[in-house]
Amino acid sequence: MTTATLTITWTAICSYSRLEAERGVAALVDGVQIAIFRTYSGELFAIGNRDPIAGAQVMSRGIVGTRGDTPTVASPLHKQVYDLRTGECLDVAGVAVPTYPIRRNGDAVEVAVDKP
């Protein structure tokens, strides 16, 4: 039995200073559409850009906010709210968007997509 090894490759998306707080941007990383968000506190989050309920690539245009202490984004189409940390939909059980590793490297914002 062989075990696949995952290689994480970081891709620079933009400079941190170009990201507006509480607004999303979309990026295409290795053929995957990713929505990137910066909160007022400066935290970065990366989730899939595809709305799992509507099927459209629109999550980067979602409404950023919070539920309690949970950073969230609401789909711009049907307003379901997703936890930016886990991707879990807070309104519909069993629905989620994928999340991706994201980091700040100097002024660069980098996202990683796992590849086998």
Summarize pLDDT for 106-116 with one digit per residue, the tens. 999 999 987 65
- Rounded distance, CA 66 to CA 79, Å? 13
Q: Tens of pLDDT along 23-51?
A: 999 999 999 999 999 999 999 999 999 99
Structural domain includes residue 6? no
Max alpha carbon distance in the chain (Å)?
A: 47
Q: What is the pLDDT of residue 112?
A: 94
Q: What angle do CA 30, 36, 40 make, to 5 degrees?
A: 160
Domain of 56 in residue numbering reads as 18-115
Residue 83 is assigned to a structural domain of this protein: yes
Residue 49 lies in a domain: yes
CATH of the domain at 52: 2.102.10.10
Grade residue 19 by pLDDT with cuts at 50, 70 and 90. Answer: very high
The mean pLDDT of the chain is 93
Say whether pLDDT at 2 is over 60.
no
Q: Considering its fold, how many domains does the chain have in total? A: 1
